[in-house]
Amino acid sequence: MRDARRRLLVAALLLCLGMVSVAGADELPRVRLVATGGTISNRDGGRLSADELVSLIPDVRRFARAEAEQFSNTSSSQLTLRQWLALARRLNELYASQADLGGLVVTSGTDTLEELAYFLHLTVRDPRPVVVVGSMRNPSTLGYEGAANLLEAFRVAASPDARGKGVLVVLNDEINSAREVTKTDALRLQTFQSRTAGVLGVVDADRVVFYRSPVKRHTADSEFDVSAISALPRVDVVMVYQDAAGDLIQAAADLGAQGIVVAAAGAGATSGTQSDGLAYAAGKGVVVVTTTRTGSGRISGTRSSGPPPAQAGAAPAPAGATTPPRPRRASIGGEDLQPVKARILLMLALTRTKDPVEIQRMFLQY
């Protein structure tokens, strides 16, 4: 009799544990993978689909109710700006229509991952997390880390602590802000770093740990609404190097660039005839933003002096004539943004205004 009672108690306990387990699974946050392609899916013989990527993730059901959809399946450098706009609209649509969706994970190739992540950081207008993830090795390579990175991305997207921190980049056990992270090595797994800013947090075996939060405006606090934008204005990036020719800048202005980002030497220096080219572009209404090519450091807004560009057919100044004061050209400082990210912010800024004072405000706030 006692043994039968013990068996009944064990059976009831197991039933209760099973019910708790099922209920717990139902209460896990829904996290959707939106796959765009990249090395993480680029196996020999064809790319993995979004569903196949989810099937690779070990123990994902312990942390989230995983879903998948295919947005595109190509390398990150082949994604167009129109596709970026469509992706941002899709992520906004998912969050607007699904109140119970806990988080989003986006796969990307690593070559331009930091650019896509920052674009989404400025255009996905919801406090729920968007985690961008990739891998340095493809699924056919020994040591493929994609499955581990995906698991960590899902864990971060499911974490309530990730809410309100903007778009996050998760690779190699580390969580970085989309604004600050950059690819620092062409091959190594630890390539994505935030340099002097440091990581936001880490993904350890026991839990997701955050150490700090971004302080610049992003996502739900962003003023950039891409719902009705069909194309982004052209913005080019020009690097400074010794004795550089300004005619490249003039060509960009003549070919329709609405903005130019200068990846300047040091704290903002140009070289060769670039200052003439920049003055020419400014004269045509092109907005110029100065950043640094060094990889870190802040460039503030200034009013720099420089000679006006030479006018074709203009007569030389008579001998002994007084040289007029050099005009002062407003320069928008790119703050501490990498040149490629300054380009993204400038493109979005130009969808709203060409006022340099307003654009400088945006660079200060974002």
Q: CA 99, 80, 84 angle in degrees (round to 5)?
A: 15
Task: Classify domain 235-310+326-365 at the CATH topology level.
Answer: Rossmann fold (3.40.50)
Cβ burial 152-190 (10 Å sphere, 16+ → b, else e)? bbbbbbbbeebeebbbbbbbbbbbbbbbbbbbeeeeeee
* d(C-alpha 226, C-alpha 231), whole Å: 9
pLDDT in tens, 194-245: 999 999 999 999 999 999 999 999 999 999 999 999 999 999 999 999 999 9
pLDDT in tens, 243-299: 999 999 999 999 999 999 999 999 999 999 999 999 999 999 999 999 999 999 999
Asked if residues 291 and 265 have their Cβ atoms less than 8 Å apart, the reply is no
pLDDT in tens, 267-280: 999 999 999 999 99
**Options 39, 182, 219, 273, the catalytic residue:** 39
* CATH class, range 28-221: alpha beta
pLDDT in tens, 325-361: 444 456 899 999 999 999 999 999 999 999 999 999 9
Output the six-digit token pair for 123: 């255009």
Q: Are strands 130-133 and 101-107 parallel, antiparallel or unpaired?
A: parallel
Q: What is the mean pLDDT of the chain?
A: 90
Q: What percent of the chain has pLDDT over 90?
A: 84
Residues of the chain with CATH 3.40.50.40: 235-310+326-365
Helix (H, G, I), strand (E, B) or coil at 241: coil
Task: Say whether 191 is catalytic.
Answer: no
Residues of the chain with CATH 3.40.50.1170: 28-221
Confidence band, pLDDT 50/70/90 cuts, at residue 26:
confident
Asked if residues 339 and 291 have their Cβ atoms less than 8 Å apart, the reply is yes
pLDDT in tens, 300-324: 997 544 444 444 344 444 445 444 4
* Number of neighbours of residue 317 by Cβ within 10 angstroms: 10
